[in-house]
Structure 1
Amino acid sequence: MKQCTRAWISTAYLLGLLFSPSPLSAAATSEIETVFNWAENNFPGLFPEHRTTQIIDPWAFRFYPSTGIYTGIKNDAVYVLGGPWGTDSPTFIATLPNLLTQIQSEGGNGSVPACRGTTEIPQSMVLTQSGSVVNITTNGQCVVIDDPESADFCESPAPP
């Protein structure tokens, strides 16, 4: 009986872990994307190509193989590792809220490179780009589009 109870509790705990929502909310994911995109747009020597954000709880990060630099966010703190910051341990840059305030106050561009002018996209939408593919998701949230006629959030880039 004791072993059966232990197995039941272990199974319930495992199912709870598997089906629990991710701690990163849609708003947090959008804010993380804004910071990473802003870094790519403003520091192309350090973050030269657009990379996809990876999430390994509690980290959200991007890796830039050409420079060997990681940029990551953990618990609302922004870090970098590699390049001029060394590889011993992540270097703290700023808190996520402070960096977002700085980006907004300077009129910084935190948009996906293929989607300039993303300030008109509803906040609950998250844009990510992998190569020439842009994904727009609401992470399961219902989003009302005020003007469906102007729902083209990204324009196709001009051919080379």
Structure 2
Amino acid sequence: MKLAYTPLAIALLFSMQTAQADLVSDSELLMDNAQKVYATFFPSNEPTQVSPPWRYRFYPATATYLGINQDDSGVYLLGGAFGNSPLYVDKVDAVLILLNSQLSGAGESKSAICNTSSIPDGLVYTYSGNTVNITTNGQCVKVPDSSNFCDVNPETDASGVPVETNIHVLTATNINNFKLEGISFPGVDNMLKQQMANNKTCIMHAPTEFLNYTVNTDICLDITDTLSGSGIPLSGPVTTHLQSSSVSTQVNDCFATDANSIVNIVTQEVWTKGETGGFTKIN
């Protein structure tokens, strides 16, 4: 009987070794492609380091670790914009598909539609075709200074200089799910939901492909500090879980819309709507 099982044992051992070798090569390919697609976070070619069960690279310029756990085939981020706790992204296969789709979509020089150079801590941006997904991966993060989670990159010429496209786009937010936890105060959840749903931004000189993009959010925000001093009794952390999607409509004139704010992404000028309904330039 022992001899009968020997070929099976050898086959299993070979299979395990092959799978491990594939995971190592896939891990290397994943980290190489991540440097091409997300140069903001991984701006340099760094050597792969091994500390079982981890294969990882450290990027000093952004203080960020990109690692693959060889036991669970999970991709993780740590440090920099991603915080001090390991942030799970997805399995190696899924992340490779995502990265390859972006590299093959328009060449390696394709730029992200959202400017992620100054994204709030804890927010993770991924692209799938013409969809931008913004998530906190199930964690709750502090409320960012800006309510606009996708600052659109302008279209550029061959020299990288922003160009005017004369395409103006009004973006509005559809709330798919909103949950407020940690507080019981009549009307507060509806008020916050309405404020988020009514937030509209008009983008002047949007890139040509922006009309084809959808921006989805699945984020959890810790609003405890925001509510402190408001007179609302707080007994602990207060969080909101928001799932939403954007709707974009091309318009002729941003100043003739019901936008709350207007952004010229070429000149970086910004206007906000005042109490009288007019727009005031703030920079």
| Structure with larger RCO (C-alpha < 8 A, sep 6+) | 1
The normalised TM-score by structure 1 is 0.49
Q: Which has the larger radius of gyration?
A: 2
The structure whose residues are more often strand, as a share, is 2
Which is helix-richer, 1 or 2? 1
